[in-house]
Amino acid sequence: MPLLLAAFATSANAERFLVKNQADYAATAKTLKAGDTVVLANGVWRDFEIVFSGQGATGQPITLMAETLGKVIIAGRSNLKLSGSNLVVTGLVFRDGYTPTGEVISFRRAKDDSASDSRVTEVVIDHFNQPDRFQSDYWVGLYGQRNRFDHNALVGKTNQGVTLAVRLDTAGSRANKHQIDHNYFGPRPSLGSNGGESIRIGTSAYSMHESNTLIEDNIFDRCDGEVEIISVKSGANVVRRNLFLESRGSIVLRHGDGNLVERNVFLGHGKPHSGGVRVINRNQIVRDNYMEGLRGTGFASALTVMNGVPNSPVNRYVQVENARIENNSILDSSSITLAAGSDAERSATPKDSAFSGNLLQLTDGATSIIAEDDIAGIAMRGNILVGGASPFAGIVAQKLPLTRAANGLLYPPMGIKTGAPRDLTVARLGDVGPAWYAKPAGAVKFGSGAALAVSPGDNSLAKALQHLASGSCLVLAPGRYAVDRTLLIDKNVCIQSAAGGRATVSFSRAPLFEIAVGGDLRLAGIDIRGDDAADAVGNAVIRAAIEPMPANFSIELDHVDVRDLDVNKSFDVIAIGKSAMAGSIRITDSNFANISGMVVSAESETDDFGRYNAEYLDISGTTFDNIHGGIVSLYRGGSDESTFGPHFRFEKNRVTGSGGKDRAAIKLVGVQQVNIRGNTFTKSGALRITETTGSPMMTLIDNDFVTTQLPVLVAQGGRAAPPLALTGNRVDGAAR
């Protein structure tokens, strides 16, 4: 039976129950009344679907708490549902598991049974991911009225679905006055698909309703899931005083009118695709924000004002009308884009809007301010551009020194009122999330740990890997290493030859390396030979993954020599399976020869849902000789516009006898950034580049094609050809 503890002073009848197992909790939960507290004993609670219901009262909530904050771990297939009123939950940590339902924490039990006037505070959800990254869920679903979600930490979501969703699907969940404050939204890696937002308020179906949700004083740290960090799809919300730190994407006022975005600080630190605010719809106010070091362009510019669709349906783009964009500082940033997305459908330019009192300093001066259509409907007044000539009336070019104030932000000399206010405060990591929860450090870097010397011998490589700490390096003495089993890479591992000689690795069982959750692999200065490999179709040297995997990984090959993967057909070097995502694959100064499959096969997401297998694929200074399957296949199908990637760079490589009449040497579909430069292709198959969606940036420059099929460029979506920059290429020695 639950243990009855001392009565609370707040109410003569208030009781405090310590429960030690799920049966005790269930029995106690039925009896709770205003002022009561139920305490979960410290320890791991596995497969625990917590239903927390009751009617507390103002000043006499019913509380569910950990015996010690942070010492109650909710693991396995678990979740929490709240219903009733005046409930408080605190001190729990969800980790080592995932929810069997669509939400981890839900502010309702059933559609007509939600929680109101309730609070979840100092709760952690840490890598509580579905095993399959495309099995969707929300970590937090907010329903009901006047709920507060504060001082929580949500870290490491890798599966599809919004981290925190404010839902408006019942009348009782609208005009909700929820408050989301002082939370730590921790790193969320690129999902490689739509559905990687950190917060979404509403959906297009309910976007005509006001939500009245307040999002303030939170930190978004490396929230890179997709193009929207916060997706506002309802009206009358306030996004205030948040810090966006090195996060890809932007606040997007996607649907709904009358939202206010003010006093936020965006620090991109030069990270690609770090953006600010994108404006769509009516009566939006964007004022007093500070942005520095943002590198987003196009829709993810520091500031983007979109063109609309005339008489837009709710799920498209409502024309911008009466936007007020005032007193923002946009410094050391790549881009401001106005009338963005202008095309045959999005033809309604912004109207009755104002852009005034903003302080601008852009990386390429005035050319960083782009108008894609008529901007006569945006009245410009009193803006200052620091550096460069003025592109528009209402933006005055002025040389001004900018100096850092005590708050760490840059300001012009005193007396100049243009730009963000001087009393801005920058949210501090110590002020968000639970104080007892350590914020995650940066990702483990290759070679940051110890170096361990390994000599040739019976499975010496497998043995050395077993107890290696993440970030460590195996340094192989010269000689031959015969490996008879698949080596599981579930941590950050680097394997390199010792100075003065090269190690050669051969393997009888494929794949040689299998990337598992948490794994990153760097190979440097080693030779890999396939001549001992078993005769099995579809072998690979490095594979991720046979099972879907809920984590991104990195692979680096540097000064590696791989040859003779030809015991059977389709023997790849790197093969990425469905529902696996490489954050980056980088190959430098290496050699590949006599390979029956591909060097990088990243073409498993064939459902055309806008998904893909590799965010960055970067190959340089490398030779390819007789690669039968072609060097790379990178595939992203579908018309969705929610991702920045994939990115492909192929520079200063030499390709000979690779691909063939029916096989492309390089096959790219739907890749958003393509840079193919300074390569030589001899007696090889074509480059086959298919554009499918978005505004891809593609260059094909200074390449030599010798006795090689010409590039095949295919455009979908109405374009005649992909928007490809083609210069300096030669075909059989002649300029083309």
Q: Name the residues that contact Ca ion, by CB under 5 A.
A: 194, 228, 642
Q: Which is nearer to Ca ion, 228 or 558 (CB)?
A: 228
Q: Which is nearer to Ca ion, 200 or 222 (CB)?
A: 200
Phi, psi of 464 (to 5 degrees): -65, -35
Provide the token pair at 319.
């024309």
Contact at 8 Å (CB) between 337 and 297?
yes
What is the enclosing helix (H) or strand (E) of 463?
Answer: helix 460-466
Q: Which is nearer to Ca ion, 304 or 684 (CB)?
A: 304
Q: Which is nearer to Ca ion, 507 or 644 (CB)?
A: 644
- Closest CB 399 distance from Ca ion, rounded Å: 40
- Closest CB 610 distance from Ca ion, rounded Å: 10
Q: Which is nearer to Ca ion, 76 or 102 (CB)?
A: 102
Characterize the bridge pairing of strands 734-735 and 730-731: antiparallel
Q: Which is nearer to Ca ion, 198 or 679 (CB)?
A: 198
- Closest CB 193 distance from Ca ion, rounded Å: 9
- Closest CB 261 distance from Ca ion, rounded Å: 17
Contact at 8 Å (CB) between 110 and 77?
no
Per residue, the 3-state secondary structure of 13-39, as one string, reads CCCEEEECCHHHHHHHHCCCCCCCEEE
50 vs 53: CA distance, rounded Å: 10
Provide the token pair at 337.
């884009």
Contact at 8 Å (CB) between 232 and 239?
yes
Q: Which is nearer to Ca ion, 194 or 289 (CB)?
A: 194
Contact at 8 Å (CB) between 270 and 296?
no
Q: Which is nearer to Ca ion, 145 or 194 (CB)?
A: 194
Half-sphere exposure of 110 (CA within 13 A, CB side): 2
- Closest CB 226 distance from Ca ion, rounded Å: 5
**R_g (Cα) of the chain, nearest Å:** 28
- Closest CB 67 distance from Ca ion, rounded Å: 39
To 10 degrees, the CA torsion angle through 444, 446, 448, 451?
Answer: 130
- Closest CB 255 distance from Ca ion, rounded Å: 12
Give Cβ neighbours of residue 369 (< 8 Å, ≥ 6 apart): 335, 336, 338, 360, 362, 385, 391, 392, 395
Half-sphere exposure of 734 (CA within 13 A, CB side): 5
Tell me 429's DSSP state.
Answer: G
726 vs 701: CA distance, rounded Å: 6
Question: The tokens 């390449």 sit on which residue?
Answer: 703
Q: Which is nearer to Ca ion, 232 or 245 (CB)?
A: 232
Q: Which is nearer to Ca ion, 221 or 228 (CB)?
A: 228
Q: Which is nearer to Ca ion, 349 or 642 (CB)?
A: 642
736 vs 728: CA distance, rounded Å: 7
Tell me 718's DSSP state.
Answer: T
Q: Which amino acid is at 519?
A: G
- Closest CB 204 distance from Ca ion, rounded Å: 11
Give Cβ neighbours of residue 606 (< 8 Å, ≥ 6 apart): 635, 637
Q: How many helices (H) and strands (E) does the chain have?
A: 2, 76
Closest by CA to 647, choosing from 665, 632, 659, is 632
35 vs 52: CA distance, rounded Å: 14
Task: Please tell me whether the peptide bond between 545 and the residue prior to it is cis, using omega within 30 degrees of 0.
Answer: yes
Per residue, the 3-state secondary structure of 221-276, as one string, reads ECECCCCEEEEEECECCEEECCEEECCEEEEEEEECCCCEEECCEEECCCCECEEE
Q: Which amino acid is at 309?
A: V
Q: Which is nearer to Ca ion, 275 or 722 (CB)?
A: 275
Specify whether the backbone of 488 is left (phi greater than 0), alpha (psi in -120 to 50) or beta: beta
260 vs 702: CA distance, rounded Å: 48
Q: Which is nearer to Ca ion, 52 or 317 (CB)?
A: 317
- Closest CB 188 distance from Ca ion, rounded Å: 13
- Closest CB 642 distance from Ca ion, rounded Å: 4
Q: Which is nearer to Ca ion, 643 or 709 (CB)?
A: 643
- Closest CB 260 distance from Ca ion, rounded Å: 21
- Closest CB 232 distance from Ca ion, rounded Å: 11
Task: Please tell me whether the peptide bond between 310 and the residue prior to it is cis, using omega within 30 degrees of 0.
Answer: no
- Closest CB 311 distance from Ca ion, rounded Å: 24
- Closest CB 640 distance from Ca ion, rounded Å: 8
- Closest CB 230 distance from Ca ion, rounded Å: 10
Burial call 349-384: b when 16+ CB within 10 Å, e when fewer: bbbebbbbbbbbbbbebbebbbbbbebebbebeebb
Q: Which is nearer to Ca ion, 255 or 559 (CB)?
A: 255
